[in-house]
Structure 1
Amino acid sequence: MIRLLLMLCVVLHCAPTVAWGYDQAPQNFRAADMLPAEMLKGPQFSVDPTVRNDGYMNVYTLHSAYGDFTVVSTNLLKQRICELAAIEAIDKIDLSKEFGDSVVEGGQKMIEGAKKIVTRPDEVVTGVFSGIATAFERAEENLVESNRSQTEDGAAKNLIGFSKAKREYAVELGVDPYSTNQALQERLEKLSWAGYTGGLTFGLATAVVPGAAGIAVTSVRYGELIQEIDLTKAPADLRRENREKLLAMGVGESAARVFINNTFFSPSGQSFLVAALDKSRGVADRQAFVEFAATTDSMDLAYFRQRMAAMYYTYHAEHGLAGFFAVDRFIAARTKAGEMLVCFPLDYGMWTSATATVMRYFDTIAADKGMRRKILMVDGRLSPAARKELSAMGWTVREGS
């Protein structure tokens, strides 16, 4: 941080005294100016005409028969719209009529029994395992298992196998089992209890799913990454596989463990990011990206950074990256052509004082590393002021990546 401040002082001291044409953020925009027509309104939803932008990301209000949702980012809005189709499909199945309330009641009794095993294991394990065997089993779990993410079911549901059924239903319906959409989670819970304790088959559950259901995919490359992940697997198994992939690509044990233990990444999000790095074969110092991701301290930021990893992978697959390197609190890459590449999955990036300071710092680092050409890739668009100022600074801007 001290180095960052010193470098900024040099940049600001040497910079010409011009009046920067900063955008005013936050701002309100029209949804119709930000979204294609098919995302503005559909059979199950409508997007509020007014969109709030904080200078980087759009914040939408999604109206539906299942409630209103505040959605940060255009890509997450696509996912929420897809999830509405799955919600509608589940609601078409009259679970209470088909299986009765006793299904859910029976499931809750199973949970209570499982909680007893988790919270008072000595009372239930006696007679099944010896004390020595139990001690070794618990030691193995403590040594191998990582922190449970904030999006996972509790230990009791995992123990009785309910969570496995829920994951399988979610995948069949084409949605992320770890979605933070509470309306979807409530219905997945009800559907899974019916299947787990009442024998509801996948065919009955998924026969009415519209073709629009599915995890939002914004490009062929993103689709490739999603195909790499088996979301029916237990979260612990995904974490173990992710750790093994990180170690295999040269990431140190300590750095891998810190990242894997970051609970702001869902098992699906963590796996998506690791898949992007794993498929970026031949790129040096992928550990720098892992260390950068390990500092994530919110779910919004986790979602942002996993998409950032996908953007770097997309560039590598099409043009080639040489390696990653840290830029204070950010990450950048050197292309095989020797350019600096910075990827930000922004919806609508404005030219603010903060943006100007960050991009000037990237300029300084590029000069230090002898990179004469600089490329900025964004998922969405930049404001006219941002495009103008970045062009004046010598950046090549690629929008809609």
Structure 2
Amino acid sequence: MFRKFYLIIFVVILYGCSSGSEKPFRKIDGYALTKTIYETPPIFKASKLLPNSILSGPLHNIRENVRNDGLENEFIIDSEFGEFIAHRTDFVSERISEVYAIDELNKVTRTDAFAQGIAKAATSPLRAVKGLFTRPGKTISQTVKGVGSVFKQAGELVKGKRSELDGSIARELVGFGKIKRSIADVLNVDAYSTNSTLQEGMGEVAWSGYAGGVGLRPFTSQIGGDVGSAISGLKNSQALKSFYNSKSPEILRRNNRKLMIEMGVSKEIIAEFLDHKWLSPRHESVIVEVLSYLKDADNQDDFFIHASSSKGEEDSIFMMRLAEATLGFDQNVSAIRYFKRLNGVLMFYTIDGREVVILPADFLIWSLEASIIADQLSNNNLKKEIWLTGSISKRARVEFESRGWSIILSEGLLLPRLPANKGI
């Protein structure tokens, strides 16, 4: 049904099945998973979920039917540049901003400065590797993991030994990346976005500016005002602060590794997390940054193991939101003592005797995945709480409460507080 529930189905199979077992899930005492009827994911109306001001604009239109996967809502945004998907309600504004950023980039490509840059770039010694940066692949690992991830490919296209690439070519790639991130900052979009159309547009403009030797100024002067300002009520995600756009992937990775070591995370888990193909430098940095503020929480390894189970962009965004909400809980509700990941479910325990599962959900229904969370064995002396950033179906609430869980709608209590220069 949906993957954001930490890929529970697969994890439970691993935990619960011995070789040759006929039972696909771990048997939970007192409750049989097969003896319940699950809800069908609903279809919502965008006009009921979003303000009218962002439903449509000069360059976009959000389709009325919104599919819910049991946890999150999926919005389809049509534009002249193609179809784009926002996997969560709080991600819609970001995707819309990208549509208008693409339009600004297209305008830049019609300027004399761009044409001059392209003409000069055609004679650049870097022309052989242009495609590696201006036409990104489909996964984050192919696009934004940094200079090192493209050395091997570049080596196959540029004549010379690896040592030569490590020198001049490496410096060239760093310069190209800096210009591209600066363009993202001017456009107020995520430099590490998985939007391939946006990445290609930023890559083309950055290529003209860097390989063509004309710099960034001729292009940024063509971009007027805040991108997307034509759409009233449009708010960019907190995660788009220029702090992340201003840092190279290598610098972010080094900072993240340092923080994780200080947090006591094992080397193996650090490597798996930082090398994960679906966690962009932005996802990784937000998760590490917010968890670094949990000074008194033990076993943070389990959170990073949990995040490393991501199987796509929607999972990675979910994990980023989960980290933010977890810090918000620690700051605004109760201090966290330690984390525990059991059967694919991430829980934490507080100093005031709570066992908590946070779900940064749009709308939670009763499903197989939800039932596995509900049936986790726990210490009966603890208060069991499910915290939601969205809402829940009547059926799901009844099922959780009948198993001893309290359902709490956060109503802003899970918003974290961070220093202004590290806002996410």
TM-score of the superposed pair, with normalisation by structure 2:
0.75
Mapped pair 1:327 → 2:342? yes
More helix by share: 1
Q: Structure 2 CA distance, aligned partners of 1:307 and 1:331?
A: 14
1:62-86 deviations in Å (ceiling 9; x for gaps) = 0123222133222222210122232
Instruction: State the 1:4 CA deviation.
Output: 4.9
* Counterparts in 2 of 1:36 and 1:360: CA distance versus 1, 3 Å: farther
The aligned runs of 1:163-182 (5 Å cut-off) are 163-182=177-196
Q: Structure 2 CA distance, aligned partners of 1:281 and 1:230?
A: 23
The aligned runs of 1:40-55 (5 Å cut-off) are 40-55=55-70
Q: Does the aligned pair in 1 maintain the 2:155–2:161 contact within 8 Å? A: no
Equivalent position SS for 2:30:
helix
1:355-383 deviations in Å (ceiling 9; x for gaps) = 2233112xx2243xx31x12212232211
Q: Does the aligned pair in 1 maintain the 2:102–2:198 contact within 8 Å? A: yes
Q: Does the aligned pair in 1 maintain the 2:73–2:88 contact within 8 Å? A: yes
Instruction: State the 1:120 CA deviation.
Output: 7.7
Alignment match of 1:348 (pick from 352, 363, 367) = 363
Alignment match of 1:204 (pick from 199, 215, 221) = 221
Equivalent position SS for 1:396:
strand
The aligned runs of 1:223-262 (5 Å cut-off) are 223=238, 229-262=243-276
Q: Structure 1 CA distance, aligned partners of 2:201 and 2:283?
A: 21
Q: Does the aligned pair in 1 maintain the 2:365–2:396 contact within 8 Å? A: yes
Tell me the number of residue pairs that the alignment of Structure 1 and Structure 2 aligns: 362
Alignment match of 1:376 (pick from 376, 381, 386) = 386
* Counterparts in 2 of 1:171 and 1:349: CA distance versus 1, 3 Å: same
1:229-251 deviations in Å (ceiling 9; x for gaps) = 43222212211111110000111
Paired residue type of 1:118: G
- Name the % identity: 24
Q: Does the aligned pair in 1 maintain the 2:296–2:337 contact within 8 Å? A: yes
Mapped pair 1:314 → 2:351? no
1:114-134 deviations in Å (ceiling 9; x for gaps) = 6897348883678x8xxxxx9
Q: Does the aligned pair in 2 maintain the 1:89–1:206 contact within 8 Å? A: yes
Mapped pair 1:396 → 2:411? no
Instruction: State the 1:94 CA deviation.
Output: 4.8
Q: Structure 2 CA distance, aligned partners of 1:183 and 1:120?
A: 24
Q: Which residue of 2 aligns with 1:365?
A: 378
The aligned runs of 1:56-135 (5 Å cut-off) are 56-100=71-115, 103=118, 106=121, 109-112=124-127, 118-119=155-156, 123=160
Q: Structure 2 CA distance, aligned partners of 1:390 and 1:63?
A: 37
Greater CA drift, 246-255 or 291-300: 291-300
Paired residue type of 2:277: T
1:248-267 deviations in Å (ceiling 9; x for gaps) = 01112222122111121111
Q: Which residue of 1 aligns with 2:27?
A: 8
Instruction: State the 1:205 CA deviation.
Output: 4.3
Instruction: State the 1:107 CA deviation.
Output: 5.7
Q: Does the aligned pair in 2 maintain the 1:111–1:156 contact within 8 Å? A: no
Paired residue type of 2:224: A
Q: Does the aligned pair in 1 maintain the 2:354–2:385 contact within 8 Å? A: yes
Q: Does the aligned pair in 2 maintain the 1:48–1:60 contact within 8 Å? A: yes
1:318-376 deviations in Å (ceiling 9; x for gaps) = 12222211122121111221101111222211112332233112xx2243xx31x1221
In structure 2, the gaps of 5 or more residues are 1-11, 18-24, 130-150, 413-424
Q: Structure 2 CA distance, aligned partners of 1:125 and 1:380?
A: 51
TM-score of the superposed pair, with normalisation by structure 1:
0.79
Q: Name the Cα RMSD after superposition.
A: 3.3
Q: Which residue of 2 aligns with 1:152?
A: none
1:36-82 deviations in Å (ceiling 9; x for gaps) = 33332233322101111121221221012322213322222221012
Mapped pair 1:23 → 2:39? yes
Instruction: State the 1:177 CA deviation.
Output: 0.9
Equivalent position SS for 1:194:
helix
* Counterparts in 2 of 1:93 and 1:7: CA distance versus 1, 3 Å: closer
Q: Does the aligned pair in 1 maintain the 2:28–2:375 contact within 8 Å? A: no
Equivalent position SS for 2:378:
helix
1:186-232 deviations in Å (ceiling 9; x for gaps) = 22123212332223416504434346499833xxxxx4x76594322
Q: Structure 2 CA distance, aligned partners of 1:104 and 1:351?
A: 59
Q: Does the aligned pair in 2 maintain the 1:111–1:160 contact within 8 Å? A: no
Equivalent position SS for 2:323:
helix
Alignment match of 2:308 (pick from 290, 294, 306) = 294
* Counterparts in 2 of 1:315 and 1:112: CA distance versus 1, 3 Å: same
Q: Does the aligned pair in 2 maintain the 1:176–1:215 contact within 8 Å? A: no
Equivalent position SS for 2:67:
strand
Q: Which residue of 2 aligns with 1:148?
A: none
* Counterparts in 2 of 1:298 and 1:191: CA distance versus 1, 3 Å: same
Paired residue type of 1:390: F
* Counterparts in 2 of 1:123 and 1:68: CA distance versus 1, 3 Å: closer
Alignment match of 1:187 (pick from 201, 210, 215) = 201
Q: Structure 1 CA distance, aligned partners of 2:186 and 2:117?
A: 25
Q: Which residue of 2 aligns with 1:131?
A: none
Q: Does the aligned pair in 1 maintain the 2:121–2:127 contact within 8 Å? A: no
* Counterparts in 2 of 1:125 and 1:342: CA distance versus 1, 3 Å: closer
Equivalent position SS for 1:11:
coil
Q: Does the aligned pair in 2 maintain the 1:311–1:343 contact within 8 Å? A: yes
Paired residue type of 2:378: I
